[in-house]
Amino acid sequence: QSVLTQPPSVSAAPGQKVTISCSGSSSNIGNNYVSWYQQLPGTAPKLLIYENNKRPSGIPDRFSGSKSGTSATLGITGLQTGDEADYYCGTWDSSLSAGGPHWVFGGGTKLTVL
Amino acid sequence: QVQLVESGGGLVKPGGSLRLSCAASGFTFSDYYMSWIRQAPGKGLEWVSYISSSSSYTNYADSVKGRFTISRDNAKNSLYLQMNSLRAEDTAVYYCAREGPNSSVDYWGQGTLVTVSS
């Protein structure tokens, strides 16, 4: 299983708001920035949020991120059918496993817009 | 614009080898750490390996350590992954990815599929 814990699925109606949680530990989320990725069906992941709450250019402000302690949250408001995708959180892990700092990801959350 | 284009995937028998390549363009390749990240069919993302900008530092996931080798050629703007002793559980889409300056993976390639099966 994944080092970071995400709910397998979330759903909401168009126009509504949804949040996706990501839980980790002090060796990863607790001491490192969290980023979020959107993977539309059949495509590569795309950066959605970096440094916990910042959006790359071109990402609408309907997408937001936050972090508290060893957990992070992705929020999406004004849901659109085009938001249906898998969402992943990711961060560095500073534990001794893997011989040094390494990337860890959540298991992914499938968003369904009903 | 940043582009990462993987190649080299395919069908290989268990115990076999494969070398993946990633051609980078649109940025100063030698300035960035690079990673390989994979995704098994229907599964989530799994970091495989990364390499520093000058190749002085590499690291690997425990699942591939001793079997995979990451390398780069900054003169050719290219990243590589040599995969030996392949197993069925290595079957996945392999993504070439750039480590951004802001603690994120800011660009991903389109991926190349590696299938390990007899």
Q: pLDDT for A78-93, tens place per residue?
A: 999 999 999 999 999 9
Contact A2 B44 (CB under 8 A): yes
Task: State the pLDDT at residue A95.
Answer: 79
State the average pLDDT for chain A: 94
Give the amino acid at A73: T
User: Which among B44, B60, B65 is the nearest to A105, CB-wise?
Assistant: B44
Contact B105 A35 (CB under 8 A): yes
Instruction: Give the β-pairing of A18-23 and A71-76.
Output: antiparallel
* Residue B21 exposed, middle or buried by CB count within 10 Å (0-12, 13-18, 19+): middle
Is the distance from CB of A47 to CB of A97 less than 8 angstroms? no
* CB neighbourhood size of A57 (10 A): 4
Segment among A14-28, A57-71, A89-103, B27-41 with least mean pLDDT: A89-103
The dihedrals phi and psi of A105, each to the nearest 5 degrees, come to: -130, 155
Q: How many CB pairs under 8 A join A and B?
A: 72
Q: How far B12 CA sits from the closest chain A CA (Å)?
A: 23
Mean pLDDT rounded to a whole number for chain B: 96
So what's the pLDDT on residue A101? 85
Q: Which residue of B has its CA nearest to A6?
A: B44
- pLDDT for A98 equals 60
Give B-chain residues touching A108 at CB under 8 angstroms.
44-45
A61 CB-near residues (< 8 Å, 6+ apart): A55
- Tell which of A102, A104, A110 to mutate to test the B interface (max B CBs under 10 Å): A102
Residues 22-51 of A with CB under 8 A from B: 32-33, 35, 37, 43-47, 50-51
For residue B59, the model assigns a pLDDT of: 93
> In this model, does residue B108 exceed pLDDT 70?
yes
CB < 8 Å to A32, chain B: 103
The pLDDT score that the predictor gives to residue A63 is 97
Nearest to B91 by CA among B74, B107, B69, B111: B111
Q: CB A50 to CB B47 under 8 A?
A: no
